[in-house]
Amino acid sequence: MREYRQELAGSFPRFECSNGSRNAGSFVKECKAKEMVMLAQKMRQKLLSGSNSQTNAGDEEMGSKEEMQDWLLSVGIISPVTKESAGALYHQQLSRQNWRNNQPIDVYCLFNRARGTELISPDDLLQACSLWEKFDVPVVLGKFDSGVMVIQKKSHSDEQVFAKIKIIATKPETLLAGISASDAAMTLGVAPAMAKEHLLSAESKGLLCRDVSPDGFRFYINLFPEIDHHDMHLLKDHGVYAS
Amino acid sequence: MQKLGEFKLPQFFNYPPYFTLQPVKETREKQVQLWKELILDYCRTQKIFIIGLEEEFPLFSNPVIERSLSHEGREAFLSALVSEGRAEWMDKGHRKCLILWHRIQDWADIILQYVKDNGLEDSVVTIEEIRSGTESQGTELYGIDRTILNRALKLLEQKGKLVIFKGTSADDEGVKFSV
């Protein structure tokens, strides 16, 4: 995706117009049609070549493909690809928005694409985040210990996520086998990377603890506080560990 | 109840996270405490005096849940015992650890009790007799590690409770008690 953006950014100077302006709106009005067609064709080729991607790599490619379609739309260039998938495009964007759980980088890209010509900087976005609470916008900027920042609906508070995690972690199957980031991703309805952050966060709060083995990286409900070291054989609630 | 030989294993031995070194401070502290106690308990009942980190030590694996303590984990828990004076590293590379499920001072007291129980207050005995003679059968002294026994005897010598003397061979090393 970065390469596409760089390329987009890089291609602008070639189309600098007579009045020195570089924004897309001016391109359409004042630049030569020939140059526009060349740019459009180059973009279309990129879009079409991206259509055979596999699922995982495809997610990244899909993102840039949609971004480019959107960019083309915003400058008034309609390509067959765009026309056909316009309806599906926005639906995909919406679901992708939910799936991607809104890391600032995604919001930043979506916002800039929507605005079209008057782009904002990453700093602008971060500053805006700090104003949300002031203006009662039901969205918060959260930060994980790892440094990852996330934009969440206010209803998605830490306590709620932890409550969900606790329920999952105390189910019989989880007591026996633990939970991985991908398991949690499905149950919580978030991306695996995000689920892992939530699990690590729950671990740091003492709610979960980790199990690292050839089977992978899994988490269990933290039972250490419940183990009475003076009476190590006493049967407690989670008696599933008896044999 | 799961057992390791005759040793009754605690329930949490089947809890997979018990075998992964926990990063969160509070969780780690509890984990360390549990492992220290388990190691001492197991060594005392099985009369194990030395743990080799690179060898198979049954307590460090649980085949039922297919988990084993990593080398890092083993070293962490044994080091915790060393810090507490309940174990000693026998080499710089931390490959072997002497387990003091009784501290040296405790062993010294046990020897004095053995002397009293058997009326050996002014007697001479070989060191080997102390650890394998008929009088020590059924006591904790029976089968004691030689290194530990020697350390305890040296401690008692410093306190004037006995004199160690060398014989013609290791089997002849003996002590004269003056308890």
In chain A, the residue whose alpha carbon lies closest to the alpha carbon of B11 is A242
- Range B35-58 average pLDDT: 95
Contacts of B15 in chain A (CB under 8 A): 220, 223, 241
Closest-CA residue of chain A to B3: A243
Nearest to B104 by CA among B145, B149, B163: B149
Residue A174 has pLDDT above 80, yes or no: yes
Written as six digits, the tokens of A168 are: 């999952």
Mean pLDDT in residue range A75-90: 43
Range with the largest mean pLDDT of A19-33, A133-147, A220-234: A220-234
A204 and B CB contact within 8 Å: yes
Q: How many CB pairs below 8 Å do chains A and B form together?
A: 77
CA–CA min distance A141, chain B (Å)? 25
**Cβ contact, residue pair A213, B8, below 8 Å:** no
Token pair for residue A43?
């973009």
Query: Which is higher by pLDDT, B46 or A67?
Result: B46
pLDDT at A78 > cutoff 90: no
Decide if A32 contacts A15 (C-beta within 8 A): no
pTM over 0.90: no
Q: State the average pLDDT for chain A.
A: 66
A143 interfacial to chain B (CB closer than 8 Å): no
Do A229 and B16 count as a contact with CB atoms less than 8 A apart? no
In this model, does residue A231 exceed pLDDT 70? Answer: no
Distance from CA of A226 to the nearest CA of B (A): 10
d(CA B91, CA B63): 29
Report the distance separating Cα B146 and Cα B128, nearest Å.
Answer: 9
DSSP helix, strand, coil percent of chain B (3-state; round to 5): 45, 15, 35
**Mean pLDDT of the A157-174 span:** 88
Domains and CATH numbers, chain B: 3-99 (1.10.10.570), 104-177 (1.10.10.10)
Name the band, by pLDDT with cuts 50, 70 and 90, for residue A9: very low
pLDDT at A181 over 80: yes
Cβ of B31 within 8 Å of Cβ of A223? The answer is no
CB contact under 8 A, A220 and B15: yes
* CA gap A157, A49 in Å, rounded: 41
pLDDT at B92: 94
Q: Which residue of A has its CA nearest to B14?
A: A241
- CB-closest option in B22, B27, B37 to A229: B37
Kindly identify which residue of chain A lies nearest to residue B30, measuring between CA atoms: A224
A211 pLDDT more than 70:
yes
Which of A238, A33, A131 minimizes the C-alpha distance to B16? Answer: A238
- Could A242 and B30 be called an inter-chain contact, meaning their C-beta atoms sit closer than 8 Å? no
Residue whose token pair is 């190590």: A232
CB contact under 8 A, A243 and B27: no
Note the pLDDT tens digit of each residue in A107-161. 667 666 766 666 667 777 777 766 666 666 666 677 777 887 777 665 557 788 8
Rg, Å, chain B Cα set: 19
A233 touches chain B (CB under 8 A): yes
The pLDDT tens digits of the residues spanning B106-124 come to 999 999 999 999 999 999 9
Using an 8 Å CB-CB cutoff, list chain B residues near A225: 30
Residue B1 pLDDT: 62
